[in-house]
Structure 1
Amino acid sequence: MEQERPHHRGRLRRLPSGHYRGLSWVHWTMNVEGRATGWLDALHHARLREALCHALARESLVCAAYCLMPDHAHFLIGGLRAGSDQRPAIKIFRRAWNEILKTAAQPAGLALQAYDHVLSDKERSREEFETMRGYILENPVRGKRVESWRDWAYSGCLVVGYPDLDPRQEEFHERFWRIYYERVKKGAEG
């Protein structure tokens, strides 16, 4: 006879803090409380990008891909230097995003905690990484919101100092990795 597993209450368990520091990559999934909808529009997207930009800048991070869906969002975030730390950046970002959600056309708030998946060494290989980024960007296609992920207005990437960088661009992959490695090298130097 199969035993019932006890219902987990409280906070999600996190890996030790070192997994979120340095050059680590983490896929963050953030749900809106009660899967509420009605908050996502162009202004909300712009305000969210601004909040994310500040959080990334404070901890020397980049967002290789993000996708805002009507009731949740995905972010693929990586560090640029040994001192980068995703946990305080995510805390700052979630606090700011919650304030933005409160003022939305349909006020909402984020679920208590974000889900995270720290990428393993294998998942950080170029092919596996691009599969993860594709998974995030294809979310609106799987949700039958658009036929092509390129048509979804609420997705992109964010690298501080590169406002025109967009995964829809033909040369995006080469440009993103060139910028990323330049920034990592610069972070290692000083």
Structure 2
Amino acid sequence: MHWTMAMNDRTTGWLTPALHAQVREFMLHAFVRYDLVCPTYCLMPDHLHLLWLGVAPKSNQRLAAAFFRKQVNELLQPHKLQKQAYDHVLRESERERGAFQSTAFYILENPVRAGLVAHAQDYAYSGNVVPGYPSLDVWDNDYWDKFWKLYEVLRKRNP
């Protein structure tokens, strides 16, 4: 699922390296609780893009998003996320590897389209979160091969 979570009143000024680290930690906790991974995310100055993928039949993105949003809103005070997140459930055709990776690259290119950086790799507030694999890096040349292998391993652990 591709989640977009906007700041209330499109507030800016809250995005810092420390907050980025906390958001990653909140994602990690949500993913362990609800059996998810995040192959790609991008924190923009006034909104967040999160591409989440379930790794078990019991994965629950809505509960994970509610948990994540509660944690983030407590951290952001006095700022907060808009009451309603936008979720795009990926159609079957969008879940195929090539199409899925295109969605991921689209998310990662947001800072370039916004004029924040010349190259997506230079943006400090994007990446991936796969619990148990801290060295997995979305910018590595072999990332997608590694990611899909890990995804299959994780799915087999959670029949």
Question: Is the shorter-chain TM-score for this pair beyond 0.5, marking a shared fold?
Answer: yes
Q: For residue 186 of structure 1, what is the amino acid of its counterpart?
A: R
For residues 89-109 of structure 1, the C-alpha deviation after alignment (integer angstroms, 9 at most, x for no partner) is: 10000000001111xxxx410
Q: Which has the higher contact order (CA 8 A, sep 6+)?
A: 2
For 1:95, the aligned partner's letter is K
Q: Deviations over 1:11-40 (max 9, x none)?
A: xxxxxxxxxxxxxxx000000000000000
Q: Match for 1:144: what amino acid?
A: G
Q: Shift of the alpha carbon at 1:152?
A: 0.4
Cα distance in 2 between the residues matched to 1:164 and 1:99 = 28
User: For 1:94, which of 49, 69, 78 is the aligned residue?
Assistant: 69
Q: Distance in 2 between matches of 1:49 and 1:118?
A: 22
Residue from 129, 132, 140 that aligns with 1:169? 140
Q: Deviations over 1:25-65 (max 9, x none)?
A: x0000000000000001000001110111011101100111
**Which position in structure 2 is the counterpart of 1:31?**
6
SS at match of 1:62: strand
TM-score, with length taken from structure 2: 0.98
Tell me what 1:14 maps to.
none
Cα distance in 1 for partners of 2:57, 2:35 equals: 9
- Structure 1, unpaired ranges of 5+: 1-25
**C-alpha distance in 2 between matches for 1:84 and 1:137:** 24
Root-mean-square deviation (Å): 0.7
Residue ranges of structure 2 left out of the alignment (5+ in a row): none
2:124 is matched with which residue: 142, 153, 164? 153
Superposed CA deviations along residues 48-89 of structure 1, whole A, max 9, x for unmatched, are 110111011101100111000000010000111111111111
TM-score (norm 1): 0.82
Alignment of 1:61-100 (within 5 A): 61-100=36-75
Displacement of 1:169 in angstroms is: 1.1
Runs of 4 or more, structure 1, over 2 Å off, are none
Q: Which has the higher helix share?
A: 2
- 1:43 and 1:175 map into 2 onto residues whose CA distance is 28
Shift, 1:170, TM fit: 1.5
Which one-letter code corresponds to 1:100 in the other structure? L
Query: Which of 71, 84, 89 is residue 113 of structure 1 equivalent to?
Result: 84
- Which string of whole-angstrom CA distances, capped at 9 and with x for unpartnered residues, describes residues 145-189 of structure 1? 00110000100010101111111112111111111110001111x
Q: Percent identity?
A: 47
CA distance in structure 2 between the aligned counterparts of 1:48 and 1:182, rounded to whole angstroms: 25
Task: Count the aligned residue pairs.
Answer: 159
